[in-house]
Amino acid sequence: MRQVTKYQGKKALVLGFGISGINAAHLLVKLGAQVVANDQKTPEDPAVVADLKADGIEVITGENPLWLADEDFDVVVKNPGIPYDVPLVQKFMAQKTPIITEAELASEIFAGHLIAVTGSNGKTTTTTLIEKMVAKSNLHQTAYAGNIGVSFSKTAEKMGADDTIVAELSSFQLLGAPTIHPHIAVITNIFANHLDYHKNRENYINAKLNITRNQTKDDYLIINWDRDEWQAVARRSNATIIPFSRLNKSHEGAYEQDGMIYWRDEAIMAAKDIRLIGPQNVENALAAIAAAKLSGVSNEDIVAVLTTFSGVRHRLQYVMDYQGRRFYNDSKSTDIEATEVALQGFEQPVILLAGGLDRGYTFERLVPYFKKHVKAIIVFGECKQQMKDAAEQAGIAKIVETENAITAVPEAWKLSEPGDVILLSPANASWDQFPSFEVRGDKFIKAVEELTGQKEQN
């Protein structure tokens, strides 16, 4: 951990708990700050508050009182999920109080090799692949952290100058990380996400570009080259650009051509041998290969990872084979676009499990994908009627209504035959029936295990 003195004797407010907030608060104490921690909710576990207080941190819960803005804080460390239009945050902004996220703190104390990954889709898979490749090489001690569910700051505290962190960073985190400076940055893609938070697409793109804002020509920006817009985004960076392309738009970095994966004209492996399915995972693999090669990883170690890694949990995750059927958990598909991508990854007939929170939209966009890939569908949740309507438009003969993703499993089994894929890819958020997509996916897997009498395969 790098020694940082800028917070000594300063007053710091940590706004919002969660993994990032709690660890940021404890870190600030170690850095010599006087810390107040505030959360609008009171944690269900009293140990959370007790641990903070035991470290000398003043704790305020149950509200975000506006008087906190009158307490002369030198810095606010904001939970990334808290919008900037919250009244308390607005007051700090008006006072020009620095507002950062835990990612900024982590980058300040980390003295090792930082590889940072952002993008609209594929961040977690790409982050995981890079970490596994670098770890396989035994060149450095490695860890992943950040938006992947592991505290960036707590990880950075444990790592030395010769170690590598692969950090998944959301646009929310990057907005509050003005000095972050990864040696290798990755932008997997940029779609129209989180516009309720960022207000418009340009703000969203600018937030993503914070990942490369402080890079120089001695650093690398790995970026998807398959759309003109993304190429234009790359030109706003001062880093050395390393493109990756599934559509053969560039041979300067990693690319796919005629079914083979290349790094700068050197053949690495056949794309079909990547264990993760679907064109989106070819893109994720290309981005990871570029980062790994720039980090000194051998082709053999890259291939070893790509031919064995079966997927990040809940993200088109292979669960098991049973009596000729193959089960996949894609509970992270909480929007239509994600389910479109998932369906394109299969050549086998698909029994689709879909539905969830009713956000007021319909699913006509899925009709061509249903026609091409889906032989039967099990619909559930608040929007099951809208999903059923799209399935009927697609001419799917077998449509079954059920309560949820758990009860859908035996129904899907009844309709399946050897050679079929049974896929949970809901195209909707889980909140009508489950607290998170993770819980929905875990319960789906448990239902598959109960049906088959087997454990999920890793």
Q: Shortest CA distance to 92 belongs to which of 36, 32, 42?
A: 36
82 vs 36, 39, 70, 79, 123, CA distance in Å?
17, 10, 20, 6, 21
For residue 260, which amino acid is it?
M
Give whole-number Cα distances, 163 to 1, 140, 221, 313, 454, in Å.
11, 5, 20, 26, 39
Q: 168: closest CA among 93, 228, 116?
A: 116
Indicate the residue type of 20: S
119 annotated as belonging to a binding site for a ligand: yes
Q: Establish whether 362 is an annotated binding residue.
A: no
DSSP 150: B
Q: Which residue has the tokens 């875990």?
A: 442
Would the annotation count 120 as a binding residue? yes
447 with 403: CB under 8 angstroms? Answer: no
Structural tokens at position 261: 């994966």
Token pair of 283 as six digits: 């893109």
Strands 266-270 and 317-322: unpaired
Nearest to 288 by CA among 267, 270, 315, 261: 261
Residues in the chain: 458
Q: What is the 3-state secondary structure (H, E, C) of 75-95?
A: EEEECCCCCCCCHHHHHHHHC
Residue 123 among known ligand-binding residues = yes
User: Is 203 a known ligand-binding residue?
Assistant: no
Buried b (16+ CB within 10 A) or exposed e, 31-61: bebbbbbbbbeebeeeebbeebeeeebebeb
Q: Which of 116, 118, 120, 71 is nearest to 97 (CA)?
A: 71
| Binding-site residue ranges for ATP | 119-125
| Binding-site residue ranges | 119-125
